[in-house]
C-alpha cells in the first residue's frame, strides 16, 4: 500500500493511504498516511456505519490538503462495536438451526452441512442484497465435492480452464468459507468475527476438510501448493489450535 | 479495536518480522494540489477486489497486476480474491464500504466536500514482497489516472 503511494506520487498523483499496521507504514514513509486502530481487513473501521466510515474517510482525505510531508497521523477513535448477528428485520427463515451431523463420512457430513446452511445463505442474500460468492462459478455443493475430491486425487483437475489446480483450490476454499460466514452471520444470536471464526474452524465439518487440505499442501512438493500451506488457507491464529486438536484425536 | 500489541503473539511476530525488510523508498515525493472540493478522487485498494466475471487474482504470486472497477459499479458486482486469510473478510461481506468506500466517496462528492469521482478505480492484491515489485504497474496506473484527470487517490489496504 505504502509503496503504491510512493510510486504514484513520484509520477505526480497525490495520494493518501489508510494504514492498518503502523509499524510497516512508519518504516516505508509513504507521502501521506492515516493509521487506524482497526481490525485487519477493515480499513474504514466497521461495516454498515456510514457516519463512522465517513469520519475515517474525511480524516484521510483531508491529509491531501497538507503543505508538506511525509505525514503519518493517527486516527483518534477505535471502531464502534459491531454485532454481525443482528437479526434482519422483517425477514424470517423457515427452518430451525441446522444441527450438525456427527455420523457418516466427512464428505457426507460436509454435504449435509452445506445443504442445511442454504436457507440461511438465501436469507443473507435477501438481507444484504448481495453475496460475495461467484468467483468459482460452482454451487456450494459442487465446491464441497471438489474440495473432498482434492483430498484423494493425486492429479487434481481444475474446474476452470484459466486457473491451475492449486489456484482453483484456493478460490474454492475462499468461496465456501464466504458461504458459511454469510449464512452464519444472519442466524439468530450475536456473532462477532472471532466467534464466527471459532465456529467455522472448530465446530464444522468444513473446518476439518480445510485442515486436511492444509496438511496435504504442507506435504506437497508442488510449488503452486505452497500458498495453501502458508498464508492462503488456515489463518495463523487458528493453526496451532487445530494442530493441538488433531494431536488429541490421534492419541485416542 | 486492534493494535499490533492487541494481536495474538504469532500474528504480532509475523507482522513485526517484516519491519526490518521495509525501508523508505528512495526520494520523498510530494505533490501539492488543489483544495479537496476541487479534486477528482479515485480509490486504489490492495484488497484483491475484482468485478464479478473478471479474472480473479492468482494466489500463486503473480499478484502485482491490477483489476479495474469502473465508477458506477454496484456493490453486488464486486468480489474478493486475495491470497491471505490472515485478515477479516466478514466486514466486506456485510458492507463493501468497510474496504472499498465508494459509496462514502460518492456522498462526499454530492455534498461538495470532494470535487468529483474518478471514472475508474483499481484493485491490486496486497501481501506481495518485496514491495518494489509494485513499481512497474504503479507507474502504469499513474498514467491512466492522469488521463482520467484524477488528482487525489485514496489507498485502502486489508
Please indicate, yes or no, if residue A93 is contained in any of the structural domains: no
Please indicate, yes or no, if residue B60 is contained in any of the structural domains: yes
> pLDDT confidence of B48, banded at 50, 70, 90?
very high
Range of the domain at B82: 43-156
Take residue B156 and report the three cell numbers written for it: 485502502
Q: Establish how many alpha carbons lie within 13 A of residue A32's alpha carbon, considering only the half-sphere containing its beta carbon.
A: 23
Least confident of A87-96, A222-231, B90-99, B108-117: A87-96
Pairwise CA distance, residues B114 & A50, whole Å: 16
Take residue B31 and report the three cell numbers written for it: 505533490
Range of the domain at A198: 106-251
> Same domain, yes or no, for A205 and A245?
yes
Q: Of B86, B68, B88, B66, whose CA–CA distance to B77 is shortest?
A: B68
Q: How far is CA A28 from CA B18, B64, B139, B156, in A?
A: 11, 18, 18, 16
CB pairs under 8 A between A and B: 285
> Same domain, yes or no, for A133 and A10?
no
Q: Establish how many alpha carbons lie within 13 A of residue A128's alpha carbon, considering only the half-sphere containing its beta carbon.
A: 31
> Same domain, yes or no, for A141 and A223?
yes
Quote the pLDDT of residue A100. Answer: 55
Beta bridge partners of residue A19, listed in sequence order: A35
Question: A39 and B1 in contact by Cβ < 8 A?
Answer: yes
Termini Cα distance of chain B? 15
Please indicate, yes or no, if residue B127 is contained in any of the structural domains: yes
> pLDDT confidence of B63, banded at 50, 70, 90?
low
- Residue length, chain A? 252
Q: Is the reported ipTM for this assembly greater than 0.85?
A: yes
> pLDDT confidence of B23, banded at 50, 70, 90?
confident
Quote the pLDDT of residue A81. Answer: 80
Please indicate, yes or no, if residue A99 is contained in any of the structural domains: no
A12, A135, A236: residue with CB nearest B11: A236
> Same domain, yes or no, for A47 and A155?
no
The arithmetic mean of pLDDT across residues B135-152, rounded, is 97
Please indicate, yes or no, if residue A79 is contained in any of the structural domains: no
Those residues whose C-beta lies under 8 Å from the C-beta of residue B20, and which sit 6 or more positions away, are none
Please indicate, yes or no, if residue B100 is contained in any of the structural domains: yes
Given a cut of 80, is residue B153 above it in pLDDT? Answer: yes
Take residue B29 and report the three cell numbers written for it: 515525493
Quote the pLDDT of residue A96. Answer: 45
Q: How far is CA A204 from CA A64, A180, A199, A241, in A?
A: 47, 10, 7, 14
Percentage of residues in chain B having pLDDT higher than 90:
70
- Domains of chain A: total: 2
Domain limit, last residue, from A56, A74, A92: A74
Quote the pLDDT of residue B95. Answer: 97
Q: Is residue B134 exposed (0-12), middle (13-18) or buried (19+ Cβ within 10 Å)?
A: buried
- Domains of chain B: total: 1
Please indicate, yes or no, if residue B64 is contained in any of the structural domains: yes
A91 touches chain B (CB under 8 A): no
Please indicate, yes or no, if residue A186 is contained in any of the structural domains: yes
Q: How far is CA B90 from CA A27, A73, A186, in A?
A: 29, 27, 12
B64 touches chain A (CB under 8 A): no
Question: A185 and B139 in contact by Cβ < 8 A?
Answer: no
Question: A231 and B10 in contact by Cβ < 8 A?
Answer: no
Please indicate, yes or no, if residue B28 is contained in any of the structural domains: no
Quote the pLDDT of residue A148. Answer: 97
List the 98-157 stretch of B: residues with Cβ below 8 A of A.
Answer: 98-99, 101, 103-105, 107-108, 113-114, 124, 126-127, 131-132, 134-135, 138-139, 141-143, 145-146, 150-157
Please indicate, yes or no, if residue A211 is contained in any of the structural domains: yes
Task: Specify the higher pLDDT residue, A139 or B63.
Answer: A139
> Same domain, yes or no, for A152 and A217?
yes
Residue A170 in contact with residue A214, Cβ under 8 Å?
no
The tens place of each residue's pLDDT in chain A, 252 residues long, gives 789 999 999 999 999 999 999 999 999 999 999 999 999 999 999 999 999 999 999 999 999 999 999 999 999 999 998 755 444 454 444 444 445 567 899 999 999 999 999 999 999 999 999 999 999 999 999 999 999 999 998 889 999 888 899 999 999 999 999 999 999 999 998 788 999 999 999 999 999 999 999 999 999 999 999 999 999 999 998 998 898 888 888 887
The bridge status of strand A15-19 relative to strand B152-156 is parallel
Please indicate, yes or no, if residue A96 is contained in any of the structural domains: no
- Chain A closest CA to B77's CA: distance in Å? 8
Q: What is the pTM of this model?
A: 0.92
Please indicate, yes or no, if residue B2 is contained in any of the structural domains: no
- Chain A closest CA to B91's CA: distance in Å? 5
Amino acid at each position: 500500500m505504502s509503496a503504491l503511494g510512493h510510486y504514484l506520487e513520484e509520477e505526480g498523483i497525490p495520494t493518501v493511504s489508510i494504514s492498518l499496521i503502523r509499524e510497516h507504514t512508519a518504516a516505508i514513509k509513504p507521502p501521506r498516511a492515516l493509521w487506524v486502530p482497526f481490525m485487519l481487513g477493515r480499513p474504514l473501521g466497521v461495516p454498515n456505519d456510514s457516519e463512522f466510515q465517513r469520519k475515517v474517510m474525511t480524516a484521510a482525505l483531508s491529509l491531501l490538503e497538507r503543505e508538506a510531508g511525509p505525514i503519518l497521523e493517527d486516527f483518534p477513535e477505535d471502531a464502534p462495536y459491531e454485532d454481525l448477528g443482528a437479526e434482519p428485520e422483517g425477514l424470517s427463515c423457515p427452518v430451525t438451526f441446522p444441527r450438525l451431523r456427527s455420523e457418516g463420512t466427512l464428505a457426507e457430513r460436509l454435504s449435509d452441512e452445506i445443504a442445511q446452511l442454504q436457507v440461511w445463505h438465501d436469507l443473507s442474500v435477501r438481507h444484504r442484497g448481495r453475496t460475495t460468492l461467484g468467483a468459482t462459478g460452482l454451487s456450494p455443493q459442487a465446491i464441497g465435492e471438489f474440495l473432498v475430491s482434492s483430498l484423494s486425487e493425486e492429479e487434481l483437475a481444475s474446474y476452470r480452464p484459466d486457473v491451475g489446480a492449486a489456484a482453483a483450490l484456493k478460490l474454492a476454499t475462499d468461496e465456501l468459507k464466504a458461504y458459511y460466514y454469510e449464512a452464519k452471520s444472519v442466524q439468530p444470536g450475536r456473532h462477532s468475527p472471532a466467534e464466527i471464526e471459532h465456529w467455522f474452524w472448530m465446530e464444522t465439518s468444513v473446518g476439518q476438510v480445510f485442515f486436511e487440505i492444509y496438511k496435504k499442501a504442507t506435504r506437497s512438493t508442488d510449488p503452486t501448493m505452497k500458498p495453501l500451506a502458508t498464508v492462503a488457507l488456515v489463518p495463523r491464529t487458528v493453526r496451532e489450535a487445530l494442530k493441538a486438536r488433531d494431536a488429541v484425536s490421534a492419541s485416542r | 479495536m486492534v493494535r499490533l500489541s492487541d494481536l495474538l503473539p504469532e500474528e504480532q511476530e509475523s507482522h513485526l518480522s517484516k519491519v526490518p525488510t521495509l525501508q523508505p523508498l528512495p526520494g520523498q515525493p510530494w505533490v501539492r494540489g488543489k483544495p479537496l472540493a476541487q479534486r477528482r478522487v479515485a480509490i486504489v485498494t490492495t484488497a484483491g477486489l475484482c468485478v464479478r466475471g473478471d479474472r480473479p487474482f492468482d494466489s500463486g504470486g503473480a499478484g502485482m497486476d491490477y483489476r479495474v472497477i469502473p465508477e458506477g459499479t454496484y456493490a453486488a458486482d464486486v468480489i474478493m480474491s486475495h491470497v491471505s486469510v490472515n485478515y477479516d473478510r466478514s466486514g466486506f461481506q456485510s458492507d463493501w464500504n468497510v474496504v472499498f468506500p465508494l459509496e462514502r466517496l460518492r456522498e462526499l462528492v454530492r455534498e461538495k466536500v470532494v470535487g468529483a469521482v474518478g471514472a475508474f478505480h483499481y484493485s491490486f492484491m496486497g501481501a506481495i514482497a518485496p514491495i518494489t515489485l509494485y513499481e512497474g504497474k504503479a507507474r502504469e496506473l499513474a498514467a491512466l489516472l492522469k488521463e482520467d484527470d484524477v488528482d487525489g487517490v485514496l489507498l485502502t489496504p486489508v
